[in-house]
Structure 1
Amino acid sequence: MNILINASNLKKGGGMQVADSFIRQLYNYKSHKFYVVVTDSLSDLLDDLTSSDNLILIKYTQKKNLLNVLFGKDAFLNNCVREYNIDKVFSIFAPFWRPSVKHICGFAKPQYIYKESPFFYNLKLKQRVKCKIVEFLHMRVIKLESDILITENLNVSTRLFEICHKRIPVFTVTNYYNQIFEKPSLWDTRIQLPKFSGFTLLTICANYPHKNLKIIPDVVKYLNEKYPNFLFRFILTISPNEFFINNVYAKEVLLLGNVSISECPSLYFQSDALFLPTLLECFSASYPEAMFMKKPILTSDIGFAKGICGDAAMYFNPLCPASIGEAIYRLANNVIERDKLIANGIKRLKVFDTYEERTKKYLKIIETGSI
């Protein structure tokens, strides 16, 4: 079977990790021929992988415009389908294109699923209206352009199936850490954090509003006032022009800018805990990454996070700086609690599909329309 893997719309965030991990596994499946469309955003793939008998890398060069997105038009991808005699298409996340063959699409838009999320509490009327319009247009695209949908969370799958009026099959394949975490020889260790004798909290994500990173300055202020002798710092993978930090807090917040997947394991190794104050997720690879790297998890006391992490995390109210600050201080000063969370995380990893299982499930869905 000739299969087109469409990663042309992935630019940042967790979808990049999934694409990288999945595509690297395709060499092992010789019964199919894969035509993989990627952009410069997946530069690691473009640098590391070479075309083979069963995997052809294609660099996406077309500029997308709003009209094409809304009406599912993409001349570049249409040409790929024709030129390579494609049988089926798998868009790793979000369609924005209607191919002439069967189309399997990944779904990762938690804001359309979890309306009860505190993310919506503080939105102004204009923002709410914008979200509603974007959601209406995007869900229209998803329903028109997808033949099968895949999510990373069973609860999301159940809700999405109802939203799509039970007309589109929805399957669940969980996320996992990238396989590079198991290969220390491939870790990129060029980023060396400054020497520090306090507690280091790592957050690896793009600066999306639902990640709730704007709460961090208030958490810093709370901890400095309540526990003036407590040494701590936040490590964020965003750039200074994306995130305003008062110079007063410069020593507590280190902004690294965008990092590659190969740089992530080393950052975990240099940190004491994962910190994720997110308000919305379908699934975050940060959770299994931290579990594998034996780092305790501090995250939001919200249903999706608890469903993924179970007893492997310490939870806080993500809208309350005091709740977050107290959780950080408690974990930093309780070695027994940290060790317990780490042990629970190692056990929790067995709940998820490994990167190999994920690939097998993706391919079975593509091949047979079932799992």
Structure 2
Amino acid sequence: MKLIINTVNLLIGGAFQRSVSFLNELKDFGRDQYHVFYNDNIAKQVDINSFPHNFKFYYFKYSPASLRYRRKIIREFYKIEEEVKPDVVFSFVGPCYWNAKSPHLVGFGVPHIVYDDYAYVKSYSLMTKLEMIYKKFWTKYEADYFVVQTEDVRQRLAERIGVDINKVFLVSNGIGKQYKDIQTFKRPASNVKRLLMISTYRPSKNFEIMKQVVPLLENDKYKYEFHITIKQEDYDQHFKGFEKVIINHGHVKASECPNLYLECDAMFLPSHLECFSASYPEAMKMERPILTSNLSFAHTVCGNAAIYFDNSNAKEIALNIKNLFSNEKIYLDLVNEGRNRLRIFDNSREQAEKYLEICGQIASS
């Protein structure tokens, strides 16, 4: 089987990290012919010179997401596709703004499309709504098949864009290779409790709620810190004056994330929207309790392994944080629930195997 694997449009975030894990797993066991479209960011985390001879890499400085460069890049995509004659093109996450001529499998990662019934999405400005219509068009137009990470998203996507649900495949997210041999342990007792949020900055992530929660945690028996991983320019813009309680680690590599969990006491994710956040299974693996938004995307992934809150209610969030650290039973019960819940997710090797299995099904159909 010959595959084109397209990662050119991935720069940062969860999908980017999963694509890195996918390529590294594929290097270890993949026996097909792989033609990989990649960019500078992928090159920083994937040693392309270490791959065997059944891999060929094609570098692209820009993504078709850029209207300025789209036509030129797409021409090059088509040229390579014509030369390779792949059985399947797998664009790891869309929209990739390319309607490949070969059977095209595209990973789905635009939660606004499937969760358009959320109040947050309904409150979008006209310009943002127009942008979402544009992405929805490309999501349907460019793909012959889709792969998603939860059954909830699978059902919603088929309904929202009117495609046959049998063309929407499911591969659950999970922990990456970097977590495989990690030994977990509880952070030593301290009067400072640390909450970790591993994410790039986007308005949908709801980072700003931290600034409302911080003063509500004052005068408690514990002191609290929020630890985040956003670009320094975003941190300077949004968190000036909060440096002592909202601590930024900057962009971190996937390999550095396990140690961040070990240095913190709980995972905090107040997002308005997610298709799937790897932070959920990662926190379960690292035996850190989860505090997150009381929304269906979170319940689908976490089940009973999380404390849920109204992510627009700072008082409710602060109360839940205090309750977690004042009750050892709640803390340990969440860790145990997470440990059990983790079994339902695919690890990075299982994900890679399932992606190839899906490509095989498509190639033979």
Could you list the structure 1 runs, at least 4 aligned residues long, displaced by more than 4 angstroms after superposition. Answer: none
Q: For residues 204 and 89 of structure 2, what CA distance do their matches in structure 1 show?
A: 30
Q: For residues 78 and 51 of structure 1, what CA distance do their matches in structure 2 show?
A: 24
Q: For residues 147 and 48 of structure 2, what CA distance do their matches in structure 1 show?
A: 27
- 1:158 aligned residue: 155
SS for the counterpart of 1:311 is: coil
| C-alpha contact 2:196 2:266 (8 A) present in aligned 1 | yes
- 2:226 aligned residue: 234
- Note the C-alpha offset of 1:76: 2.9
- Note the C-alpha offset of 1:27: 2.5
- 2:337 aligned residue: 344
- 2:217 aligned residue: 223
SS for the counterpart of 1:157 is: helix
SS for the counterpart of 1:66 is: coil
Q: How does 1:70-109 map to 2 (within 5 A)?
A: 74-94=74-94, 95-109=96-110
Q: For residues 49 and 334 of structure 2, what CA distance do their matches in structure 1 show?
A: 37
The answer as to 2:133 corresponding to 1:141 is: no
- Note the C-alpha offset of 1:118: 3.8
- Note the C-alpha offset of 1:56: 2.5
How many residues align? The count is 355
Give CA deviations for 1:311-367 in whole Å, capped at 9, x if unaligned: 111111100000110111111222221111111101001111222221122112111
* 1:317 alignment partner, one of 291, 310, 313: 310
SS for the counterpart of 2:89 is: strand
Q: 1:340 to 1:211 in 2, by over 3 A?
A: same
Quick check: 7-16 or 107-116, which moved more? 107-116
Q: How does 1:195-214 map to 2 (within 5 A)?
A: 197-214=191-208
Counterpart AA for 2:56: I
Q: For residues 229 and 48 of structure 1, what CA distance do their matches in structure 2 show?
A: 51
SS for the counterpart of 2:292 is: strand
Quick check: 136-145 or 264-273, which moved more? 136-145
Q: For residues 181 and 61 of structure 1, what CA distance do their matches in structure 2 show?
A: 31
- 1:181 aligned residue: 179
Q: For residues 315 and 72 of structure 2, what CA distance do their matches in structure 1 show?
A: 46
SS for the counterpart of 2:318 is: helix
- 2:46 aligned residue: 46
Q: For residues 262 and 161 of structure 2, what CA distance do their matches in structure 1 show?
A: 42
Q: For residues 63 and 26 of structure 1, what CA distance do their matches in structure 2 show?
A: 23
Q: For residues 306 and 106 of structure 1, what CA distance do their matches in structure 2 show?
A: 22
| C-alpha contact 2:146 2:169 (8 A) present in aligned 1 | yes
| C-alpha contact 2:108 2:148 (8 A) present in aligned 1 | yes
Q: 1:287 to 1:153 in 2, by over 3 A?
A: same
- Note the C-alpha offset of 1:67: 6.5
Q: For residues 308 and 206 of structure 2, what CA distance do their matches in structure 1 show?
A: 15
Q: 1:4 to 1:48 in 2, by over 3 A?
A: closer
Counterpart AA for 2:284: M
SS for the counterpart of 2:46 is: helix
- 2:168 aligned residue: 170
The answer as to 2:267 corresponding to 1:270 is: no
- Note the C-alpha offset of 1:109: 0.8
Q: 1:335 to 1:242 in 2, by over 3 A?
A: same
What's the Cα RMSD here?
2.4
Q: For residues 276 and 163 of structure 1, what CA distance do their matches in structure 2 show?
A: 26
Q: For residues 307 and 21 of structure 1, what CA distance do their matches in structure 2 show?
A: 23
SS for the counterpart of 1:233 is: strand
Q: For residues 7 and 30 of structure 1, what CA distance do their matches in structure 2 show?
A: 17
SS for the counterpart of 1:58 is: strand
Give CA deviations for 1:278-327 in whole Å, capped at 9, x if unaligned: 11111100000000011111111111101110111111110000011011
- 2:126 aligned residue: 129
- 1:117 aligned residue: 118
Q: For residues 73 and 165 of structure 1, what CA distance do their matches in structure 2 show?
A: 29
Q: 1:268 to 1:208 in 2, by over 3 A?
A: same
Counterpart AA for 2:280: Y
SS for the counterpart of 1:10 is: coil
Q: For residues 89 and 101 of structure 1, what CA distance do their matches in structure 2 show?
A: 6
Q: For residues 226 and 196 of structure 2, what CA distance do their matches in structure 1 show?
A: 6
Quick check: 5-14 or 28-37, which moved more? 28-37
TM-score (norm 1): 0.89
In structure 1, list runs of 5 or more residues that go unmatched.
Answer: 186-194
Q: For residues 240 and 212 of structure 2, what CA distance do their matches in structure 1 show?
A: 11
Q: For residues 45 and 239 of structure 2, what CA distance do their matches in structure 1 show?
A: 33
Give CA deviations for 1:94-118 in whole Å, capped at 9, x if unaligned: 0311122111000011111112324
- 2:186 aligned residue: none
| C-alpha contact 1:27 1:54 (8 A) present in aligned 2 | no
